[in-house]
Amino acid sequence: MKSVKCPTCSRKVMKYGKTRAGVQRWFCKVCHLSFTNVYNDATKIFQSFLNWLFSKKTQKDMPGQGRTFRRTTKRFWNLWPLPPKIDVSRDVVYVDGIYLSRNLCVLICCDNTHVLGWYVCRTENFRAWSNLMKRIAEPKVVISDGGTGFTKALKYVWPLASHQRCLFHAFCQVRRYITNAPKTMAGRDLLSIARNLFKVKTPEAACAWINELRNWRILYNTFLQEMTTDEYGNKRATHERLLKAENSLLKLVKQHTLFTFIEIADISVPNTNNRIEGGVNAQLRDMLRAHRGLSLERRLKAVYWWCYMHSPRPLSISEILKVMPTDESISLIYQRFNEREKVDYSIPQWGDGLAWNELHRSTEFPTYWD
């Protein structure tokens, strides 16, 4: 058992009887301070809260059907784990977004072993991707599935990083347009070309695949130019979905993001983002499925906690309880910034009031009104 020390001078103390409740009282001979040593079990309870959150154990199987557990762990739902700032550059990182509802998405960035950052937004866009990437050192290669606004954010935040588009998602986009069983010969040939993406391993094979895609267009050019007139007299392409499937592949070829894993020889670059799909997103979905019934805010915090505990250097449990912000502290910060913004709007703007520099200038010519 650890020796009890005085909270004032940190010296050893002696027993000094007990309180009416039967709690041991202690006395310091130096400070003449009498106190009771209250045991703080918040760390232990918080650890059990995280163990439950990351497991498939349900509250129904707990004693009292989890009523005691919910009462003792309710305070931990107020904490918000913050993402770390990554200063060390990685060779390869993976980015993707997981949707918790129609208008709530969590953007996640990870490497082969840890989660590097996360950011919550309504939809995937340039601003959201930029805010996620600004806290992470620029890597050599980024693998993504082509989320909205990511390409623009990559050029703005990580201009020197190479981009590898996930080949599986590129194939799925083609299959989404022409289905898995096309009825036309052109559709079947294009689906076969898309499947051949996974067989490309060398620069020669990549050039052969691009030529195969171009030859497909030459072969079915007349067929693809067929037009259809609707009931209102408007003309549109008869095989519009075939053209969209082809354009999705041509766009990646023009952007040079389809075969980046072949062009970079000094490091090993995967051609899919299976690491984040199976290693992060699948784990998060399993966790939310095991604890279904949580409110949207608690689902979001559960994702935050999983990402934080799988970050490179998470703090200890006791440090987390000390430094992580709560709902109350975030609300207070928001209120202060809101009040400051109101004050800024109340100050006269340009053209509404006199500026000091307009009548007080530092020049070589004399000014007699100073």
The model's pTM: 0.80
DSSP label at residue 255: H
Say which residue the tokens 């007080």 belong to.
360
Half-sphere exposure of residue 320, counting CA atoms within 13 Å on the CB side? 24
Q: Can you read off the two tokens belonging to residue 141?
A: 């290669």
Cα–Cα dist 44/244, whole Å? 56
Tell me the one-letter amino acid at 181: A
Cα–Cα dist 322/73, whole Å? 16
Per-residue model confidence as pLDDT tens for the chain (370 residues)? 567 888 888 888 888 888 888 888 889 988 888 888 777 788 999 999 999 999 998 888 888 888 999 999 999 999 999 999 999 999 999 999 999 998 899 999 999 999 999 999 999 999 999 999 999 999 999 999 888 899 999 999 999 999 999 999 999 999 999 999 999 999 999 999 999 999 999 999 999 999 999 999 999 999 999 898 877 878 888 899 999 999 999 999 999 999 999 998 889 999 999 999 999 999 999 999 999 989 999 999 999 999 999 999 999 998 999 899 988 888 888 788 777 666 555 555 444 444 445 555 555 655 554 4
Cα–Cα dist 164/71, whole Å? 47
263 to 83, 93, 208, 274, 329: CA distances (angstroms): 32, 17, 15, 20, 49
Do residues 55 and 72 touch, judged by C-beta distance below 8 A?
A: no
* R_g over Cα of the chain: 31
Do residues 293 and 58 touch, judged by C-beta distance below 8 A?
A: no
Cα-to-chain-centroid distance, residue 41: 32
Q: Can you read off the two tokens belonging to residue 183?
A: 């009825």
Cα–Cα dist 129/163, whole Å? 14
Burial profile 158-167: b = 16 or more Cβ within 10 angstroms, e = fewer: beebbbbbbb
Bridge partners (DSSP) listed for residue 97 = 107
Q: Can you read off the two tokens belonging to residue 300?
A: 């979001």
Phi and psi of 310, rounded to 5°? -105, 15
Cα–Cα dist 132/157, whole Å? 10
Do residues 271 and 167 touch, judged by C-beta distance below 8 A?
A: yes
Tell me the one-letter amino acid at 3: S
Do residues 115 and 314 touch, judged by C-beta distance below 8 A?
A: no
pLDDT in tens, 183-234: 999 999 999 999 999 999 999 999 999 999 999 999 999 999 989 887 787 8
